Homo-oligomer: A and B are copies of this chain.
Amino acid sequence: MLEGEQPVVLPAEQLLQPMAQAAPLWIRLSRGLEAAIASGALPPGARLENEVSMSERLSLSRPTVRRAIQELVDKGLLVRRRGVGTQVVHGSVARQIDLTSLYDDLKRSGRVPSTRVLDVTFARVGPEVTEQLGLDQTSRVLKIRRVRFADSVPIAVLENYLPDTFADITAERLAEVGLYQELHARGVTLRVARQRIGARRASVDEGLLLDIGRGAPVLTMDRTAYDADGAAVEYGRHCYRPDLYGFEMTLVER
């Protein structure tokens, strides 16, 4: 028999939370379920009510309910088995890597992020950068170099390159809001990004900035982000203090 013998049935008001922006039904249900899991109303291993019953009870169609549930399966919060049912996964949950910046990442985890802008210049750069941005080798780009702190401890050195469209971004603005927020404020929506995570030795100045020895290991992440048109918006080469930061993710069988 399945672990949670009886399915947990939560009231409709709890599952279908009203949302500010009149979000789609499947999102409202998904958020409601997620909140129920986070609050412990649906503890690890608990069995969910079946789809048909839930859709009738909430006056939703079954595809709508399925979509809400599938969202949480993709996030690694639920597990479904045909002929068996849907269960909350066991164990604690790590947040997914998504298309946000380290700045938002730190705030979300309750730490206080801050930034020191080292350098904002507009100049020619090497071909490895222009190639990533899909630009001509002679193009000038905006180069940004920053140190990110969490609770006043340096955790990352961030190097970003942007096409000349963004040449007017100021150091002051970057110190406040983070690059991705600034891009968003300018109406740029990031849709796809490709990234590679690796490791190497810290350079001399990285060692000083991160307050670790020269040649100490750093975690690296190189990312190219594209907007909805498929144009490259940003290329970043970052390195992190591995004792203070790592990339956590949940994988789900496809």
Which A residues form the contact surface with B (CB < 8 A)?
A: 3, 44-45, 63, 76, 79, 81, 87, 89-91, 93-94, 97-99, 134, 189-201, 216-219, 224, 226, 228-232, 242-243, 246-254
B194 touches A250 (CB 8 A): yes
Number of copies: 2
Q: A194 with B76: in contact, given A231-B90, A242-B200, A253-B99 (CB under 8 Å)?
A: yes
Q: A79 with B200: in contact, given A99-B252, A226-B91, A252-B99 (CB under 8 Å)?
A: no
Kindly list chain B residues whose C-beta atoms are within 8 Å of the C-beta of A250. Answer: 192-195
Q: What's the nearest-Cβ distance from chain B to residue A115, in Å?
A: 22
Kindly list chain B residues whose C-beta atoms are within 8 Å of the C-beta of A228. Answer: 79, 81
Q: What's the nearest-Cβ distance from chain B to residue A110, in Å?
A: 18
Kindly list chain B residues whose C-beta atoms are within 8 Å of the C-beta of A247. Answer: 196-198, 247
Q: What's the nearest-Cβ distance from chain B to residue A193, in Å?
A: 5
B192 touches A252 (CB 8 A): yes
